[in-house]
Amino acid sequence: MKKRTTFKILGIGCLHTFLYLYLIPFVIFPKFGKNGLKLTVAVAIAISIIILVTIFIERSNRSKKDEKD
């Protein structure tokens, strides 16, 4: 695995750890309730999907570039 991919996956892990262990239970849930909780989880999942899609796009672009050479 490349360094860049590893950093992206670790970034996703750090984001979720921060969200689920601190931000949601101590900040968002007391102020906004269940609606804030749902929105935060949806945004976290969307960010993770976007990052994973960029990883796969980079891989496919790299493989197409290798085929041309």
pLDDT at 68 > cutoff 80: no
Quote the crossing angle between the two packed helices 3-18 and 29-68, to the nearest 10°: 170
Alpha-carbon distance of 44 to 51, in angstroms, equals 11
Which pLDDT tens digit goes with each residue over 19-58? 888 888 888 888 888 888 888 888 888 988 988 888 888 8
Summarize the confidence of residues 1-30 as an average pLDDT. 84
Domain ranges in the chain are: 1-69
Q: Which amino acid is at 49?
A: I
Contacts with 45 (C-beta within 8 Å, 6 or more apart), sequence order? none
Alpha-carbon distance of 6 to 18, in angstroms, equals 18
CB 24 within 8 A of CB 40: yes
pLDDT (0 to 100) of residue 67: 64
Summarize the confidence of residues 4-16 as an average pLDDT. 85
